[in-house]
Structure 1
Amino acid sequence: MRSQTLLTAAAAIAVAKASKEVLATPPMGFNNWARFMCNLNETLFTQTADAMASSGLLAAGYDRINLDDCWMQMSRTDNGTLLWDTEKFPQGLPWLGRYLKEKGFHLGIYQDAGTQTCGGYPGSLGFEQIDADTFTNWGIDYLKLDGCNVPTAPGRTDVETYKDIYSHWHEILSKQANPLIFSESAPAYFCGTDNLTDWYTVMDWLADNGELARHSYDVATWGDANPWSSIMSNYDQQIRLARYQSPGFFNDPDFLVSDYPELTIDEKRSQFALWASFSAPLIISAHIPDLGKDELAFLTNKDLIDVDQDALSQQATLASRDSTWDVLTKSLGSGDRLLTVLNRSPAAASTSIPLAQLGLSSTCNFAVKDLWTGDATGLVSGEFKIKNVPSHGTVVYRLTPSKNSCKTVIPTGLIMNTFSMTCLTAGAAKGSEVSSASCNFPSSQVWQVKSDGSIRNLAEQSKCLTDSGNGPITIAPCKGNPNQNWSYALSGDLTNEGTGKCLTEGGNGQITTETCKFETNSQVYALPIGAKLQ
């Protein structure tokens, strides 16, 4: 069963349908924050729009231009209305919206759920209806709602306070004649703590209210000495949350910082490829007029944009991980399978990927297309060899089955505790016992989640993850009994059917089951994409 904070199945379907009508695929466009922060003005946005139109970015799908913090005056009018800064925007935001619309763009805006924005400007708390009406009247159709300076309501927890405010915004926006796209930054104020229960709890209700979840940290701002580290930090937050994403609701790891001089071209390309593999928003925060031909080439790569905008909206999950390689995969609406491989090491390297790690039949043939070059590389079966991936580089391939019978995919990959970021590991020192270990041993850490509810290690497919009810979790010969069947909840719980208890990570790498608690650190797991949610 789903956790108590989640919608009933029928209500959840209705919410998902409504969100898909507002935002069927992840947004693409521009935001000023990471590159310019508060140094925004009318000219920045008109020049950005002109450059996006002339460079091919608009034609590639980047049709949203969003203002971030610091666009407004420091006080409201006597009737509570916000005003734009007339020095920064002398012709006004309605004029800017019309200018952008004539060019083929949509205008989005920033506000804060609290008493003040992060930059110290008037927040929306107590003025939600006025602000929503104002934004609609200005021709705006996208709202990023930040979460600075939110005072805890009397008798409410911080989580409850944020939920009340963001739910109130949802009620207002859903009644607008043309509902605004609602980007919710609430979870960013609960991530990275010693106890992630509140973070998970906020993530639980976001899809009920909006279309985007800004789930964690701001990506690197201009001048950051190590933007690659920041990108990888947001990447590691993103891979914890794939279970929440569905058509109409997207996990947002923040902006593409494609012009930062501290990044190599391979690192810039990697961020884009990983974000596209996640079906994440592709919002560029860069000086668009000065983007080089190499940056424009990858930002307008049609094959990768098609992956990002795929109708299934799946977020790629980890098929395997070791000290050098992250291998990610997901299904595409055409029946193809995506393979994305990131080299996290400081040197170029080569590798070989067994197709079984991607959930594919090892006996089928697959046509392979390199999504960077567009080249077809012939048919592959069994395993796929990848050569000379540069340091911090990412390669992406589309695998097309040679016949319909080869389209079957078994959810396959890592089972990762999303607090410790350690992986469920077979072949422990005590023989059949399963343990928790650093994600560095693909041969014993890749699991298949079968449609019958069994979970099998890829290396020993005749053995199933088993809860005897009186000791550590083991892998044992599959017999189809309830103690070998598991269900996976949106809350991240992996529950054994026989004992009714949840998979639990203990000290010293021990894996047991215990009474299911509410989204506690030791019991929340990320599973391979495609694992059924109960």
Structure 2
Amino acid sequence: MLFQETLMLLAASMAVDASQALMPTPPMGFNNWARFECALNQTIFTETADAMVSKGLVKAGYDRVNIDDCWPLHERAANGSLQWDPEKFPNGLIWLGQYLKNRNLKFGIYSDAGNLTCGGYPGSLNYEEIDAETFSSWGIDYLKLDGCNVYNQGSLDSEQTYKNIYGHWHQVILNMSRPLIFSESAPAYFSGEANLTDWYLVMDWVPGYGELACHSNDIATFDTPNPWESILTNYGFEILLARYQSPGYFNDPDFLIVDHANLTLDEKKSHFALWASFSAPLIISAYIPDLTDDEIAYLTNEDLIAIDQDALGLQATLVSQDGTWDVLSKSLSNGDRLLTILNRGDEAGSLSVPFERLGYPSQYSGIFVVKDLWTGATSEVSNQITANVPSHGTAVFRVSSRLAAIPTGMIFNTASLNCLTANGSSVRWTKCTGSDTQIWQITSGRSISSLSDLSKCLSRDAKSGTVALEVCQGWHKSQKWDYAITGNVQNQASSDCLTEGQDGVVTLVECLVENNSQVFELPSGSLQR
């Protein structure tokens, strides 16, 4: 079964490679939904386009304007095609597309995989070909396909039904002379369940069908009282999915809600910094003409946009997490390393991160060049980076060194959120505390060692079949591990998979497909496609 799954994921990987020319870096732009929902009209989009130019957003790379739900009439035309609402768009969408093009902006649109959109307008089910042709004729190059109203006998349908519909859309788009960028919302309809199997099965195929996927909850709309909680919720889903991302396919934790009245400026900046660290789509949902100078300043931060648009397309992964501080890192295309520090606490605080936690050797006595990406200040540092971070704030640094970093960070179960923890020569799954015993290095030789003792490697004991830490022997297959896009960590000697057993026991058992006990996130850069 795992072999068949591997073949399917290989095909998906090839499709992602083909998408790189279409969308090698995540999109940047505007969508109306979180700010205006169904209260959309032509004026919102023309004013937005003009403000994106005058406020420097287009120059900074925000080159896209996407219309969300509620734009069409409730009835299709006699030939079956969708029709825009002439009261909302008196000049029409073709005219609007040209208006955007004249301002160096691209045009995207929304539809639904079911028979109705989430707002109750006509969906695209059984109209895929005609809708794709219609969108193309209007000058549209980006389609967000939602997943409401995909039903079978009155209940939400299966993962396989979604796969069939989105797979059909993929084929329709492939046959177009000018393919659409395809944003898939299918995963969002399977997230948040106690059993994550169906969610991950959807995530397994979306990279092969499109360029990005909304994977979980909608971000808070303008009238939601606690938007920070919503941001952290979507952040929490995003950190479970780094293994899927590469240039040509990007995980989408949803919009940047820049002008929400119940967010502090530090929270807004954190939202942006975290999304940039993930190389996530930077799609603003706000009334852009009224954005403040402070908001425009962080949205156009060149250093953070460069992180988001980095050619490697890696998603930052957790180095450590202790309930107050989240530390994330990833490698960048020029060899630099990113360090992102989120303060979840209700008070300002200070945290120091040793360079060993970024994957650099502990015995190195040289100098690291560290750039604070908020202030632009550069300093030379030898041992660690110390950040003073406000409540709900995020510090972001770019680290340069002549040394190559080794992927370093947490190994955690994406269902239980427990961390692999070293204890002498034994290992267990325990609550994440941010200690060195829970931070692991993954070498190019596929060995795994705890930062607390790099002389020992995660091993399968040949006699007992148990998992332990033993003195590293680089040649031995019992100490080599393969990491699949499915989240399986497979021992090369036994072909069994790392498993979270009862009461935190670390076991090796037969590899299963997307089973809660066997899906893990590893440090950024560990995945080998």
- Mapping of residues 183-198 of structure 1, within 5 Å: 183-198=183-198
Task: Work out which of the residue numbers 373, 376, 380 in structure 2 matches 1:374.
Answer: 376
Q: Is this contact kept in 1: 2:455–2:472, CA < 8 A?
A: yes
Please name the residue that 2:452 is paired with. 459
Task: Work out which of the residue numbers 516, 520, 523 in structure 1 matches 2:515.
Answer: 520
- Tell me the TM-score normalised to structure 2 length: 0.96
Secondary structure in 2 aligned to 1:327? strand
Matched AA of 1:413: G
- Tell me the TM-score normalised to structure 1 length: 0.95
Please name the residue that 1:282 is paired with. 282
Task: Work out which of the residue numbers 395, 416, 419 in structure 1 matches 2:415.
Answer: 419
Secondary structure in 2 aligned to 1:434? strand
Distance between the aligned counterparts of 1:13 and 1:127, measured in 2? 28
Please name the residue that 1:475 is paired with. 469
Q: Is this contact kept in 1: 2:12–2:209, CA < 8 A?
A: no
Instruction: Give the direction of change, closer, same or farther, for the CA distance of 1:157–1:41 in structure 2 (3 Å limit).
Output: closer
Q: Is this contact kept in 2: 1:2–1:490, CA < 8 A?
A: no
Task: Work out which of the residue numbers 476, 479, 484 in structure 2 matches 1:489.
Answer: 484
Distance between the aligned counterparts of 1:293 and 1:9, measured in 2? 45
Report the more deviating stretch, 497-506 or 48-57.
497-506
Instruction: Give the direction of change, closer, same or farther, for the CA distance of 1:3–1:309 in structure 2 (3 Å limit).
Output: farther
Matched AA of 1:425: T
1:128-159 CA distances to partner (integer Å, 9 max, x unpaired)?
Answer: 001000000000000000000012499x9711
Distance between the aligned counterparts of 2:516 and 2:253, measured in 1? 21
Instruction: Give the direction of change, closer, same or farther, for the CA distance of 1:194–1:13 in structure 2 (3 Å limit).
Output: closer
- Mapping of residues 200-215 of structure 1, within 5 Å: 200-215=200-215
| Pair 1:439-2:432 in alignment | yes
Q: Is this contact kept in 2: 1:273–1:394, CA < 8 A?
A: yes
| Pair 1:502-2:497 in alignment | yes
1:439-462 CA distances to partner (integer Å, 9 max, x unpaired)?
Answer: 113221000111222110011111
Q: Is this contact kept in 1: 2:26–2:250, CA < 8 A?
A: yes
- Mapping of residues 93-242 of structure 1, within 5 Å: 93-152=93-152, 158-242=158-242
Please name the residue that 1:328 is paired with. 328
Unaligned runs of 5+ in 1: none
Distance between the aligned counterparts of 2:8 and 2:414, measured in 1? 25
Distance between the aligned counterparts of 1:14 and 1:231, measured in 2? 32
Matched AA of 2:284: I
What RMSD, in angstroms, separates the aligned Cα atoms of the two structures?
1.7
Instruction: Give the direction of change, closer, same or farther, for the CA distance of 1:42–1:230 in structure 2 (3 Å limit).
Output: same
Instruction: Give the direction of change, closer, same or farther, for the CA distance of 1:3–1:201 in structure 2 (3 Å limit).
Output: farther
Distance between the aligned counterparts of 1:351 and 1:133, measured in 2? 54
1:7: how far off? 4.6
Q: Is this contact kept in 2: 1:152–1:161, CA < 8 A?
A: no
Distance between the aligned counterparts of 2:513 and 2:433, measured in 1? 29
Distance between the aligned counterparts of 2:89 and 2:354, measured in 1? 56
Secondary structure in 2 aligned to 1:399? strand
Distance between the aligned counterparts of 1:432 and 1:270, measured in 2? 39
| Pair 1:359-2:390 in alignment | no
Please name the residue that 1:448 is paired with. 441
Percent identity between the two aligned chains: 57
Matched AA of 2:495: G
Distance between the aligned counterparts of 1:491 and 1:153, measured in 2? 31
Please name the residue that 1:347 is paired with. 347
Matched AA of 1:442: S
1:266-291 CA distances to partner (integer Å, 9 max, x unpaired)?
Answer: 00000000000110000000111111
1:532: how far off? 3.5
Report the more deviating stretch, 433-442 or 113-122.
433-442
Distance between the aligned counterparts of 2:293 and 2:50, measured in 1? 17
1:79: how far off? 1.7
Instruction: Give the direction of change, closer, same or farther, for the CA distance of 1:6–1:238 in structure 2 (3 Å limit).
Output: same
Distance between the aligned counterparts of 1:485 and 1:189, measured in 2? 36
Q: Is this contact kept in 1: 2:11–2:208, CA < 8 A?
A: no
Q: Is this contact kept in 2: 1:3–1:489, CA < 8 A?
A: no
- Mapping of residues 387-398 of structure 1, within 5 Å: 388-398=388-398
1:361: how far off? 2.8
Q: Is this contact kept in 2: 1:319–1:412, CA < 8 A?
A: yes
1:353-379 CA distances to partner (integer Å, 9 max, x unpaired)?
Answer: 011111123314211111111111x21
Secondary structure in 1 aligned to 2:108? strand
1:383: how far off? 1.7
Matched AA of 2:179: P
Distance between the aligned counterparts of 1:68 and 1:157, measured in 2? 23
Please name the residue that 2:528 is paired with. 533
Unaligned runs of 5+ in 2: none
Distance between the aligned counterparts of 1:346 and 1:300, measured in 2? 27
Instruction: Give the direction of change, closer, same or farther, for the CA distance of 1:448–1:420 in structure 2 (3 Å limit).
Output: same
Please name the residue that 1:90 is paired with. 90
Matched AA of 1:366: F
Distance between the aligned counterparts of 1:178 and 1:299, measured in 2? 30
Distance between the aligned counterparts of 1:342 and 1:477, measured in 2? 35
1:196-251 CA distances to partner (integer Å, 9 max, x unpaired)?
Answer: 11111111111111100111110111111110010001001001100100011100
1:309-368 CA distances to partner (integer Å, 9 max, x unpaired)?
Answer: 111111011111112211111111111111111111111011110111111233142111
Secondary structure in 2 aligned to 1:125? coil
Matched AA of 2:72: M
Distance between the aligned counterparts of 1:329 and 1:250, measured in 2? 17
Secondary structure in 1 aligned to 2:209? coil
Distance between the aligned counterparts of 2:46 and 2:157, measured in 1? 43
1:393: how far off? 0.4
Q: Is this contact kept in 1: 2:255–2:282, CA < 8 A?
A: yes
Matched AA of 1:458: L
Matched AA of 1:383: Q
Distance between the aligned counterparts of 2:152 and 2:186, measured in 1? 13
Secondary structure in 1 aligned to 2:192? coil
Instruction: Give the direction of change, closer, same or farther, for the CA distance of 1:513–1:381 in structure 2 (3 Å limit).
Output: same
In the alignment of these two chains, the number of paired residues is: 524
1:94: how far off? 0.5
Distance between the aligned counterparts of 2:500 and 2:157, measured in 1? 27
